[in-house]
Amino acid sequence: MKDGNGGSRRGTGLHLAVIMDGNGRWATARGRPRTAGHRAGAESVRRVVEAAPELGVTTLTLYAFSADNWQRPPREVSALMGLFRLYLLSERETCAKHGIRLSVIGRRDRLPAAVRRAISEAETATARARALHLRIAVDYSARDAILRAAARLGGTACTREEFSALLGEVDHERGCAPDVDLLIRTGGEQRLSDFLLWECAYAELVFTPRMWPDFGRADLEAAIAEFHARERRFGRLPQAVAS
């Protein structure tokens, strides 16, 4: 990838974040219930997770359920929680086998007990994996996380790195995840929706009209190729001007 001067940042992997949008609209357009779209979206998760390491991604953060999603109809929320639990139970052995460390960020106190157990078991089973860190954001709000981290400081000054670590602590992260390099949002909307606001300060953004259930390896390759074609300056001058 390119650094602030247009060069290659060797030895570093890509942190890719994805807002997986469009499941419900995908299903509605086909005359199917919204839950069918969420099930189809789970298949897209498998495709992207499988392709990510081959494309240089070492950290992958997926926005699965926001803090605001509790406002959806109870039946849909229940179906989403059931699908999430099923995914954790069915994929943890596969993740461990392929070197994928799975962790969940966000609040846990509002999640069903069965989901919390599945999270704990999946995180334990994959803790030693190193090929890819798969982070799933559930009951997640970036603004709430920033507020909770700031409250812990109690007026004490800290560095950006220290605050990043504190953000991880309040959202059950073990260690500090790297800043996001590339954020992809599917489904045609063009906003961050309270996702990784601190970590996306200098992220490159790619918005695609493709609904998440239709998103596949070719789409991921295209987005990453676009990322590599961009010059990331981080406030510095373009390379041509600087030289």
Gap between the Cα atoms of 95 and 104, Å rounded: 14
Residue 239 belongs to a domain: no
5-14 pLDDT, tens per residue?
Answer: 333 333 469 9
Residue 9 belongs to a domain: no
Average the pLDDT over 211-219 and give the result. Answer: 97
Residue 242 belongs to a domain: no
Question: Shortest CA distance to 186 belongs to which of 144, 145, 220?
Answer: 220
What is the CB neighbour count within 10 angstroms for residue 94? 13
User: Range with the lowest mean pLDDT among 12-26, 65-79, 160-174?
Assistant: 160-174
What is the domain count for the chain?
1
- Return the percentage of the chain with pLDDT > 70, whole number: 92
The answer to whether 21 is a known catalytic residue is: yes
pLDDT band at 2 (very low <50, low <70, confident <90, very high): very low
What's the token pair of residue 68? 């605001």
Gap between the Cα atoms of 114 and 82, Å rounded: 9
**Residue 8: predicted pLDDT:** 33
What's the token pair of residue 183? 């954020």
User: Range with the lowest mean pLDDT among 2-11, 21-30, 136-145?
Assistant: 2-11
Residue 55 belongs to a domain: yes
Q: In 3-state terms, what secondary structure has residue 150?
A: helix
**Residue 243: predicted pLDDT:** 54
Residue 182: is its pLDDT beyond 90?
yes
Strands in 57-66's sheet, in edge-to-edge order, are 100-105, 132-140, 57-66, 14-19, 182-185, 204-207
The answer to whether 23 is a known catalytic residue is: no
Catalytic residue among 5, 69, 144, 179: 69
What is the CB neighbour count within 10 angstroms for residue 1? 18
Residue 3 belongs to a domain: no
CATH of the domain at 109: 3.40.1180.10
Residue 7 belongs to a domain: no
State which residues form the domain around 22.
14-233
**Residue 154: predicted pLDDT:** 85
